[in-house]
Amino acid sequence: MVKISDRVFFIKGEFNGKFPYCNVLIVDDVLIDSGAGQRIIEGLLGRVSTLILTHLHPDHASGAWMFNLARKRVLSPAGFKTDLDSISQRFMTKKLSELWKKVIAESIGMKSFKSEKYNEGIITQKPVEIEAIHAPGHTKDHHVFLIDQKIMYGADIDLTEFGPFYGNPEGDISEFEKSIKRILTYDIEIFVSSHFDPIFGKDEIERRITNYLSFFKKREEKLIDLLSEKPRTLQELVKLSPIYGGRKKFAKEILDFFEENMIQKH
């Protein structure tokens, strides 16, 4: 656990916070996201009264059912159902939805859950202000959180060296770029990522965000280079894996689907 400010604490998820887990943030008695791993979330249940989810990807929402079981408050983005069937239909094809549900149940224990809904705007004011900012592109329901006007929890605008993920059918490059650029308009001092260590200092935050934005163009150029060598089918491009770089040890069929979607969006 890393102290970010007097009432804000960063907790690294299992597997160093990498997929299929995520880092989480305690803000006073609120937990933001629940994908740190069941053991970690179980240990946090006694510290917090409320869970707020940035979006419904399983690496962020996998522990929400535990809050239902503990009779604690759960908030998730308005307009999106939280049962596994509905979530799988958003993020996968009909053909892959059953495999997806099986994989996330067995790997990270995700289950359907119930929640209250929130919209963009101030969620809590005292003792710490938490403002939800809609940041679509990664998913339609993706939000980042501004905490006391100086700390940004960026969720899956994660600033990792993998780069932006837009592999679900609803992922949108144009919207994603707009959401990332919007973060640059906020005067923040600390940026907390779901899959990377906290970043301190305005200059370093701006440098990392600018680098993250560059992935869209770099991927576009890589695809153009591959196609300029010779004509290639979509499946041939997926096999070459220009985005994942062949790193698909976890549920390869699903990751191939994500890569195919991301290639098609360019």
Q: How far apart are CA 41 and CA 43, in angstroms?
A: 5
- Superfamily name with CATH number, domain 2-214: Ribonuclease Z/Hydroxyacylglutathione hydrolase-like (3.60.15.10)
Q: For 5-27, what is the mean pLDDT?
A: 95
Q: Which residue has the tokens 């929640």?
A: 115
Q: What is the number of residues in the chain?
A: 266
* Torsion angle (degrees, nearest 10) of CA 245, 246, 249, 254: 90
Report residue 1's pLDDT band, with 50, 70 and 90 as the boundaries: confident
Q: For 8-34, what is the mean pLDDT?
A: 96
Largest CA distance in the chain: 60
Intervals of CATH 3.60.15.10 along the chain: 2-214
* Contacts with 230 (C-beta within 8 Å, 6 or more apart), sequence order: none
**Residue 262 DSSP code:** H
pLDDT in tens, 206-257: 999 999 999 999 999 999 999 999 999 999 999 999 999 988 777 899 999 9
Report residue 140's pLDDT band, with 50, 70 and 90 as the boundaries: very high
